Amino acid sequence: MSEPNLKRIVAEKAVDDYVKDGMTVGLGTGSTSEYAVKRVGELVSSGFKLKCIATSQRTADLAQSIGIEIHDINDVPHIDVTIDGADEVDPKKQLIKGLGGALLREKIVAAASLMEIIIVDSSKLVEKLGVRTPLPVEVVIYGHRKTAYALEKQGCKATLRMSGGVPFVTDAGNYIYDCKFEAIESPFFLESRIDVIPGVVENGLFLNTANVVLVSHPDGKITIME
Ligand code: 5RP
């Protein structure tokens, strides 16, 4: 099965299995999540009353373009279920997220969610976090090179994310450094070290965040990590 189809089938299954009429739903960001947003759009068109929260401006724009009303996260007591993608998933359901640049809002939305459902194809599965992708870290623009220097002291190569020849700027007006480790041996320890660096806003380690991970495989089967 082609990569777009693998993304689509896992996204549609997540929406079909976990989104019920009347829920408040968090909408993730990225190419896999886009299929989930489109499926949620179909539910709304068929009469479901959903309150939807977007994890990025990009997702809000897509959702609104297909008739989904987007609510302010501050106006809902909690989010019933959020469906989002990931860049890496380890055997304990620990994640790296943020290659799509939305890690800050994604983490806030995940923390406000009763259930975080992660949707990936099997290419995202790793034995150890960091082996496949860099760890995105969002930093304030002021003094960002100093912040990058402190990040590199944790054992990575930190590269400022660029877009169209200029630094990529997040929805919150920050920069992202993509921090490439050989492998992340102790994700909780690393997170505690990164979070105390002045200038760091958020990191892409999503630890003990996913309740369920749905994984699509090349043969079209979908497995569930619970
Ligand atoms: C965005 C994210 C995405 O969920 C992650 O990058 C996966 O994206 P895709 O489904 O396009 O591979 O964390 O910040």
Q: Report how far ligand 1's centroid is from the alpha carbon of 21 (Å).
A: 26
d(CA 185, CA 163): 30
Please state the length of the chain. Answer: 226
Of 44, 96, 94, 81, nearest in space to 65 by CA: 44
Q: Report how far ligand 1's centroid is from the alpha carbon of 98 (Å).
A: 6
- pLDDT for residue 37: 98
d(CA 165, CA 173): 17
At 212-225, the pLDDT tens digits run: 999 999 999 999 99
Do the Cβ atoms of 144 and 201 come closer than 8 Å? Answer: no
In this structure, the strands spanning 212-216 and 166-167 are: unpaired
Check if 3-123+207-225 and 135-201 are the same fold. Answer: no
Do the Cβ atoms of 110 and 82 come closer than 8 Å? Answer: yes
Could you state, in order of their start, the residue ranges of all structural domains in the chain? 3-123+207-225, 135-201
Q: Whose CA is nearest to atom 10 of ligand 1?
A: 32
Q: Report how far ligand 1's centroid is from the alpha carbon of 88 (Å).
A: 9
At 91-143, the pLDDT tens digits run: 999 999 999 999 999 999 999 999 999 999 999 999 999 999 999 999 999 99
pTM of the complete model beyond 0.95: yes
Residue with structure tokens 């304030």? 140
CATH number of 3-123+207-225: 3.40.50.1360
CATH number of 135-201: 3.30.70.260
Is the beta carbon of 100 within 6 A of some atom in ligand 1?
yes
Burial of 47 per CB tally in 10 Å (0-12, 13-18, 19+):
exposed
Token output for 88: 């890496």
CA distance readout (Å), 144 to 149, 199, 223: 9, 7, 41
